[in-house]
C-alpha cells in the first residue's frame, strides 16, 4: 500500500519571515494529515530550509529544490548533500521542468544526483513531463519514458523503491490548465509500467505524484485514480489556507 504524499514546491517564493510564519501555522493541519496516513511536506528555497525545519512540526517533510552531487569543492553557487544533511534535510526535488529549462538540468545530470542522494540515505523526488508540443504530437509516453530510464539508470530495485516520481506536464504548470485525471492516470500508469520493466515488482511500491495546476478544488479527482499517489503543488501550496484545502482534498 503506497502512502499518499502532498509536496508543496515553493519555487523562488517566500522570505525567511514568511516561511517561518507558514511553519509556525501548519502544525494542526500536519497532525490532521499524519493522523489520516498522509505524508505532507514543502520545498522552500535554500535560505529558508533551516527556518522551516526549526519552526514546523517534525512530521512536516522539508525538501530542497536542488542539490549538487559532489560532496564539496570548487562549484560556485552550489549546495552539497552533506550541507543539507547537516541541517536535517532528507528530501530533494530534482529535474523540475523549470530547472531543465532555465538551468540546463538534464536527465543524465539528475541521475548523478539521484545516485548520490540514495547513497547518502536521502529521498529524491524526480520530476518528468512533456512540453505542449510533445503532448500535441502524441509523443508524451516515449518522451517521459526516456526521462525515467535516463534519470533512474543503474539503480538497484531497492534504491528505486525509495525514489518518488512526479509527473508534471509542462503545459499544466502554473497555467491553470491542469491535465484531466484521465490524462494524468494514462501517463502515470505508463510510468509505472516502465518502472516495472526496469525494477520488477518493487514498482508497485514507488510513489508517483501528479503536478500541474493542482488546487484544493481539483486534488481529490486525481486521488481517485489508481496509480496517482499524491501531488506536487506549486502556486496552491503557498498559503496556509490553500495548503489546508489541499490536505482536506487528499483526505477526502
Ligand atoms: P503549479 O506548479 O502547481 O503552480 O502548476 C507545479 C510545479 O511546478 O511543481
Long-range contacts of 144-148 (CB under 8 A, 24+ apart): 144/187, 144/190, 144/191, 145/190, 145/191, 145/194, 146/107, 147/95, 147/107, 148/191, 148/194, 148/195, 148/198
* The pLDDT of residue 176: 85
Domain ranges of the chain: 4-251
Q: Annotated catalytic, 161?
A: no
Distance of CA 174 to the CA centre of its chain: 15
Quick one: which atom of ligand 1 is closest to the CA of 98?
8
- Span 140-153, average pLDDT: 98
Average pLDDT over every residue of 173-190? 93
CB contact at 8 A, 229 and 4: yes
Residue-wise pLDDT for 126-136, tens only, equals: 999 999 999 99
Residue 146 reports pLDDT greater than 90: yes
How much is the pLDDT for 82?
A: 98
- Residue 96 is a catalytic residue: yes
How far is 132 from 121, CA to CA, in rounded Å?
Answer: 35
| 4-26 mean pLDDT | 98
What kind of fold does domain 4-251 have according to CATH?
TIM Barrel (3.20.20)
Q: Cα–Cα distance between 24 and 50 in angstroms, integer?
A: 13
Q: Which atom of ligand 1 is nearest to the CA of 127?
A: 9
SS3 28: helix
Amino acid at each position: 500500500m503506497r502512502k499518499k504524499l502532498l509536496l508543496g514546491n515553493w519555487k523562488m517564493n517566500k522570505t525567511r519571515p514568511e516561511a517561518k510564519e507558514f511553519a509556525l501555522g501548519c502544525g494542526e493541519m500536519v497532525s490532521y494529515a499524519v493522523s489520516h496516513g498522509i505524508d505532507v511536506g514543502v520545498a522552500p528555497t535554500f535560505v529558508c530550509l533551516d527556518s522551516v525545519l526549526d519552526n514546523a512540526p517534525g512530521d512536516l517533510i522539508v525538501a530542497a529544490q536542488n542539490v549538487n552531487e559532489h560532496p564539496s569543492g570548487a562549484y560556485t553557487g552550489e549546495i552539497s548533500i552533506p550541507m543539507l544533511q547537516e541541517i536535517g534535510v532528507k528530501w530533494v526535488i530534482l529535474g523540475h521542468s523549470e530547472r531543465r529549462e532555465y538551468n540546463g538540468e538534464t536527465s543524465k545530470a539528475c541521475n548523478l544526483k539521484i545516485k548520490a542522494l540514495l547513497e547518502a540515505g536521502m529521498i529524491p523526488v524526480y520530476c518528468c513531463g512533456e512540453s505542449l508540443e510533445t503532448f500535441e504530437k502524441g509523443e508524451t509516453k516515449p518522451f517521459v519514458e526516456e526521462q525515467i530510464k535516463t534519470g533512474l539508470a543503474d539503480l538497484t530495485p531497492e534504491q528505486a523503491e525509495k525514489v518518488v516520481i512526479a509527473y508534471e506536464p509542462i503545459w499544466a504548470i502554473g497555467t491553470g490548465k491542469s491535465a484531466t485525471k484521465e490524462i494524468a492516470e494514462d501517463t502515470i500508469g505508463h510510468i509505472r509500467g516502465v518502472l516495472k520493466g526496469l525494477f520488477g515488482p518493487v514498482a508497485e511500491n514507488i510513489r508517483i505524484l501528479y503536478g500541474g495546476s493542482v488546487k484544493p478544488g481539483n486534488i481529490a479527482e486525481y486521488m481517485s485514480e489508481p496509480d496517482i499517489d499524491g501531488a506536487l503543488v506549486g502556486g496552491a501550496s503557498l498559503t496556509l489556507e490553500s495548503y489546508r484545502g489541499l490536505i482536506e482534498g487528499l483526505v477526502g
